[in-house]
Amino acid sequence: MDSGRQLAAVGRAGARGAIAAMAMSGVRQATTSLGLVERTPPEQLLKHVAPALFNRVPVNRRPALVEFIHWSVGAFGGAAFGLLPRTVRRRAWVGPAYGFVFWAAFEATVAPKLGISRKRHGLGEQLALLVDHTLYGVVVGSSPWPHAD
């Protein structure tokens, strides 16, 4: 694939990543309202990585900051998906698997380093976050341009 087509595929995948993160936000609204998820990973990240920024933002604006950060990470993850070889991206199972790997990598590396392990929150929370990351992968992997992506 030439560099122009590759760049376009990365851009489209990045857009799908942002949209996928927005879809995850809907799932998270339900799972936090039901008490399955105490705090979302983006909120925990902000509190641990940038507490001064998080605390400077008025309480009523913090959800918007959390969403913006989440959508940005989603776009970045989508763009990374777009870097995968086309023959890999086009397989139906790769998107959901990518979402699973995204979740597993966070849980295995980032969360423990920040002291935000899900193990202490229970299986229900882990499953809820696995479901929303799988949804992320489904959306990221679903290309409306199957012959171009």
Average pLDDT over the chain, rounded to an integer: 89
CB 44 within 8 Å of CB 113: no
- For 62-82, what is the mean pLDDT? 95
Please, which pLDDT band fits residue 134 given cuts at 50, 70 and 90? very high
The pLDDT assigned to 94 comes to 96
Segment 68-77, tens digit of pLDDT: 999 999 999 9
Segment 107-118, tens digit of pLDDT: 888 888 877 765
Share of the chain above pLDDT 90, in %: 58
pTM, two decimals, is 0.88
